[in-house]
Amino acid sequence: MSTIVVGGGLMGLTTAEVLLERGESVTVLELLDGVALETSYANGGMLTPSMPEPWNGPGVLRHLASSLFDPRSPMKLRLRAIPSLTGWGLRFLQHSSQRHHDAACAANYLLASYSLAETRAITARLKLEYCHASHGTLSVFRSREVFEAKEAVCRIAGGLGMRYAVLSAEQIVRLVPALADIRNSIYCGIHYLDDDHGDARMFCDALAGRFRAQGGRIETGVRVTRVAAEGGRVVGVDTDRGRIDARRVVVAAGTASPALLQTVGVHLPVKPVKGYSVTVDAAGIDGLPTLPVIDDFKHAGITPLGTRLRMVGTAEFTGFDKRPNRVRTDNLYDLLVTTMPAIAARLDRSRADAWAGLRPVSYDGKPFIDACGPDGLWVNAGHGPLGWTLAMGSALLLADRIDGRPPAVRHEPFVLDRRLRHAAD
Ligand SMILES: Cc1cc2nc3c(=O)[nH]c(=O)nc-3n(C[C@H](O)[C@H](O)[C@H](O)COP(=O)(O)OP(=O)(O)OC[C@H]3O[C@@H](n4cnc5c(N)ncnc54)[C@H](O)[C@@H]3O)c2cc1C
């Protein structure tokens, strides 16, 4: 069967690879001039089943309201974005109850831990190189209140198999000596033992190379303008180069997915939420952390990627505006300066690369992995802040649904119609 996958980011490429391995003829259509140049470009690099919680937990309304007047707030709502968020925003708030939050944590955790196992498997099978390492992740807490909120998530994921250890400030400094200067401001930490990290863009480039070598096609610089359907069946896509026929179409176009699905009357409740990263070359510097360090006070993290360090964070509701914001990226770099001053002092800040990307965020913090609209149309989108972690598992889940095989994890939490009773579980 001929399949078109729209989008050459993490979701598109993993989906394309899995379908190709199952004997399909697969073509990826990508708007930009290469793969992984949009949201999958310079993300935090963390493969973290330990972070399954959606952003809209209890108290989110208070955070968003206070962020309107605070330029440094880690989660920021901009006034100009409010009109574009009305319906979605209401559902985002409606799903911030403890019950929805805990259910989403559990569903995301199960998909994420399956996904990480499959990411490791494909890494070994295809010999993919992307600065991948398996040392876990460290969260550092400055206050008891924040620690207890995260501990509640750990209890949910821990009950499903996640391994973690609560560390004292001394134990933290033994694990990451670069944190010695902030020892006195640390309340405690959590070492999530089963997490990995690696460069998502390098993964995509390596995977794209293997996909092509196995007979898959990737066409870049092609804009898909609509899904083409006749008599209730998908017949292909229309592009700026004309019609391309296919019996099946998978929309994996990140934040552009809602607009594409709208062309066949499918409503996908996904909105862009901006985040930033700053990457700095740290080659030749001793004592770099060997695992990602998250400062829960700042809602930001530092990930080692080979000889680079990447600072990442913030969630800004600002529509499709991808312009860099100096206050935001300075704030991220300052995380390094304040938490690892001895390392920061030896780096060339003027050569740091700042980047902004738009996370495709669903209103309830879970992705959409489902059939939709005309026969032959599928969606794999809306993975928000966890797309790198969830990519391989989502691709396999989608492929299992397409093939009618029993999936390794429950698919119900990720169906498009969340009004179905089982989807809310
Ligand atoms: C700052 C930041 C940090 C993050 N950190 C992490 C992390 O540490 N761990 C984690 O798990 N996740 C993280 N994420 C989330 C993760 O990066 C995203 O969920 C993931 O990249 C989304 O992948 P995608 O394939 O859905 O979208 P994209 O990567 O955006 O891919 C979609 C592709 O579709 C293409 N496209 C769009 N429209 C069309 C069209 N009309 N025709 C053809 N092609 C089209 C785009 O050009 C794009 O290449 C982070 C995100 C951000 C922004």
pLDDT at residue 420, as a whole number:
59
pLDDT digits (tens, 9 = 90+) for 165-217: 999 999 999 999 999 999 999 999 999 999 999 999 999 999 999 999 999 99
Is the Cβ–Cβ distance between 391 and 45 less than 8 Å? Answer: no
Cα 188 to middle of ligand 1, angstroms: 33
pLDDT at residue 24, as a whole number:
96
Is the Cβ–Cβ distance between 347 and 282 less than 8 Å? Answer: yes
Lining residues, ligand 1, CB within 6 Å: 6-12, 29-32, 37-40, 43-46, 223-224, 252-254, 256, 260, 275-277, 312, 357, 359-360, 381, 383-389
Q: Ligand 1: which of 10, 39, 114 to mutate, most ligand atoms within 8 Å of CB?
A: 39
pLDDT at residue 96, as a whole number:
87
Contacts of 225 (CB under 8 A, 6+ apart): 237, 238, 239, 240, 263
E strand or H helix that includes residue 114: helix 98-126
Atom of ligand 1 nearest to the CA of 277: 1
pLDDT digits (tens, 9 = 90+) for 105-155: 999 999 999 999 999 999 999 999 999 999 999 999 999 988 998 899 999
Is the Cβ–Cβ distance between 357 and 320 less than 8 Å? Answer: no
CA atoms of 392 and 398, how far apart (whole Å): 10
What tokens were used for 360? 């495709």
pLDDT at residue 68, as a whole number:
64
3-state secondary structure of 8: coil
Exposure of 265 in the CB half-sphere (CA atoms within 13 A): 5
CA atoms of 118 and 415, how far apart (whole Å): 21
What is the pairing mode between strands 46-47 and 75-77?
unpaired
Cα 355 to middle of ligand 1, angstroms: 13
Residue with tokens 């985002």: 92
Cα 286 to middle of ligand 1, angstroms: 32
- Per-block mean pLDDT, blocks of 10 residues, the chain (425 long): 95 98 97 98 98 84 68 70 81 89 96 98 98 98 90 94 97 98 95 98 98 98 98 98 97 98 97 96 96 89 97 91 90 94 95 96 96 98 98 98 96 89 49
Q: Ligand 1: which of 388, 392, 414 to mutate, most ligand atoms within 8 Å of CB?
A: 388
CA atoms of 111 and 46, how far apart (whole Å): 15
Task: Name the residue range of residue 309's domain.
Answer: 2-424
| b (16+ CB within 10 A) / e for 141-178 | bbeeebbebbbebbebbeeeebebeebebeebbebbeb
Q: How many domains does the chain have?
A: 1
pLDDT at residue 359, as a whole number:
97
Q: Ligand 1: which of 4, 31, 43, 279 to mutate, most ligand atoms within 8 Å of CB?
A: 43
The CATH code of the domain that includes 231 is: 3.50.50.60
pLDDT at residue 424, as a whole number:
46
Atom of ligand 1 nearest to the CA of 382: 26
CA atoms of 28 and 6, how far apart (whole Å): 6
Cα 321 to middle of ligand 1, angstroms: 15
Which residues share a beta bridge with 77?
A: 317
